[in-house]
Chains A and B, each alone.
Chain A
Amino acid sequence: QQQVKQSPQSLIVQKGGIPIINCAYENTAFDYFPWYQQFPGKGPALLIAIRPDVSEKKEGRFTISFNKSAKQFSLHIMDSQPGDSATYFCAASNTGKLIFGQGTTLQVKP
């Protein structure tokens, strides 16, 4: 019940495309859902986060869509750029500690 399932494991898109990464959770007590971006050799960096009282949140080119009834949330990256090539992790929390998804490696081709 503490798991967060993330898909796909890897994703390749062309520059300007809109990669979509999906996550699903079981624990209805989760009330905070962040997305992290990680480059090789670096720690994860917070991209954007959402709470279950809203269905969508946008920050720049990044959008989270949240479906509380389905217990799913997704990350959309608009107008993707080669610099967005990284590993993306979704996570969930209700006590401060984060439970992470398995990660998605994104490659944006020029």
Chain B
Amino acid sequence: SAVISQKPSRDICQRGTSLTIQCQVDSQVTMMFWYRQQPGQSLTLIATANQGSEATYESGFVIDKFPISRPNLTFSTLTVSNMSPEDSSIYLCSAGTVNSPLHFGNGTRLTVT
């Protein structure tokens, strides 16, 4: 199964700044997704990271706030832009192939002050 590494594992950021989260997979995968998990809550899909093209965003999430890159089959980044305290959450990268289950990284714990 794919091993997924996220950086940073946690950060404390000031309101109005931006943070870029990196997701590295140890093998080539066809699918990569970004999720948000607020404390004590379930996982909400932010977007599908498409290799070589613009990400596909779920309802309630927009590219200006959460720009995503995926330059190749093993790497993706999620930026949380112009942060506010409401953005404090855990951001999770997941990856897999068509014939294998999705695996998750350990997440990035973001606190916005």
Contact = CB atoms under 8 A, between A and B. Distances in A.
Contact of A43 (B31, B41, B101, B106): B106
A36 B31 CA distance: 18
Nearest to B105: A43
B104 interface: yes
A46 B33 contact: no
Chain A interface helix/strand/loop/mixed: loop
A103 B102 contact: no
A interface bracket (residues with beta carbon within 8 Å of B): 10 to 19
B interface bracket (residues with beta carbon within 8 Å of A): 20 to 34
Contacts of B1: 46
B101 A46 contact: yes
B78 interface: no
A61 to B, nearest CB: 19
Interface string B91-108: 010101010011111110
A11 to B, nearest CB: 15
Contacts of B4: 43
Contact of B106 (A42, A46, A100, A102): A42
Interface stretch (A62-70, A71-79, A91-99): A91-99
Interface of B: 1, 4, 30-31, 33, 41-45, 48, 92, 94, 96, 98, 101-107
6 contacts: A36-B104, A43-B104, A44-B104, A97-B33, A101-B42, A103-B41
